[in-house]
Amino acid sequence: SAVISQKPSRDICQRGTSLTIQCQVDSQVTMMFWYRQQPGQSLTLIATANQGSEATYESGFVIDKFPISRPNLTFSTLTVSNMSPEDSSIYLCSGGAVPDTQYFGPGTRLTVL
Amino acid sequence: QKEVEQNSGPLSVPEGAIASLNCTYSDRGSQSFFWYRQYSGKSPELIMSIYSNGDKEDGRFTAQLNKASQYVSLLIRDSQPSDSATYLCAVTLGRTNAGKSTFGDGTTLTVKP
């Protein structure tokens, strides 16, 4: 199994600022993803983090707002840019090495004031 | 219509009973189906995957899939208080990594001692 860590675990940010969330996997995974889980709601896929190339974004999410990097197989970052209170959410990194395995990181709880 | 719909819940069962969790999906092209368990304040954990019509058993858990009816369910036999959690149904269009999924809103299960 893969162990996924995220930093920071939580943060409180001011409107208009940006926050970069880091995701580290302890073993190589083929796919990495970023999700958002808003309070009391289910998970929404933001994007697939592609190694060495631009991320693939889902409908409703754009690179300018959520730039993503994945320089190698075990590390990815998600930046939440120009934040507003509507961006307050839990951001989750996930990854897997084979089709039917999927591990989630512990999440980053973001509050935007 | 939501792409993935689950019983709104909450669902409460006595210890030792069978808990039945249901999920329907709208896209007939869906090929992969997953059940996650999410404890309060924690990230989701993949507990079952199913790809073919019929039943798949893993310990106390049985996943059932009926593609004609666009229906997938999770049965938990001999329910334990430790099974109390929110159960998320997730669906992907292809036989691809479990990560690129559409999630339902979840059903919260409480198992009473």
Tell me, yes or no, if B98 comes closer than 8 A to chain A by beta carbon: yes
Across residues B8-36, what is the average pLDDT?
92
Taking CA atoms, what residue in A is nearest to B108?
Answer: A40
pLDDT at B103: 93
Give pLDDT tens digits for B26-46.
988 888 899 999 999 899 999
Closest approach of chain A CAs to the CA of B14, in angstroms? Answer: 25
Query: Residue B105 and residue A42: Cβ atoms within 8 Å?
Result: yes
H helix and E strand count, chain A: 0, 11
Average pLDDT taken over every residue of chain A: 92
Closest approach of chain B CAs to the CA of A103, in angstroms? Answer: 7
**pLDDT score of A23 more than 90:** yes
Mention every residue, 6+ apart, whose C-beta is less than 8 A from residue A31.
Answer: A48, A95, A96, B97, B99, B100
Query: Residue B98 and residue A99: Cβ atoms within 8 Å?
Result: yes
Facing B97 at nearest CB: one of A31, A92, A106:
A31
Residue with tokens 């666009």: B70
Per-residue CA distances from B100 to A32, A33, A96, B95, B109 (Å): 9, 7, 10, 10, 25
Give pLDDT tens digits for B60-91.
999 999 999 999 999 999 999 999 999 999 99
Mutate: best of A43, A48, A50, partner B, most B CBs <10 A:
A43
pLDDT at A18: 97
